[in-house]
Amino acid sequence: MFNDWRGTFVLMGKALGAVLLCEAVGILAGWATQTSVTTWYPTLTKPSFTPPNWVFAPVWTVMYALMGIAAFLIWRCDTGRARVRSALVAFGVQLLLNGGWSFAFFGARSPALGLVVILLLWGTLAWTIDRFFRIRAAAGWLLVPYLAWVTYALALNAAIWGLN
């Protein structure tokens, strides 16, 4: 019985670690965003479908949590298999691009560079979701809201680039 508890505790710790890793990317992205969101970003012309600033933090917090759970579900499928490793590499690349977008758009104050990064992110995320669905459908479904949000963010980024 002790081993069952111990195993469950270890498993929950690993799941929490995956979520915290993704949330850490969000914190780093928030750091890159911090100064520009109150100085440079308000000076930009934005499209009518721009949400209020307060929406972004809660949405991204949920997205990062879903990403961590999805990655954990794939990782549990046996990292010794090539397709699992490939899916996790794709996940890692999209996670880096996710964080990189904030540095490109807000850190460099460049909607054009942000657009390049988010296009790469969108493609890598779609590839990751395809890989995840092939291994465990639940993990793929957990990333679908994230793809929808990135699609919206891509449209917003493109519109800001076009207007400025």
Give 82-109 pLDDT, tens digit per residue.
999 999 999 999 999 999 999 999 999 9
| Residue whose structure tokens are 């930009």 | 44
Question: Residue 57 has which token pair?
Answer: 């933090």
**Would you say how long the chain is, in residues?**
164
Query: To which residue do tokens 């999209």 refer?
Result: 94
Q: Architecture of 2-163 per CATH? A: Up-down Bundle (1.20)
Q: What is the pLDDT of residues 7-64, one digit of tens each?
A: 666 667 788 878 888 988 998 898 888 889 889 999 999 999 999 989 999 999 999 9
Question: What does the domain layout of the chain look like in residue ranges?
Answer: 2-163
Provide the residue type at 163 as one letter: L
Helix 137-163 vs helix 111-135: angle between axes, to the nearest 10 degrees?
Answer: 170
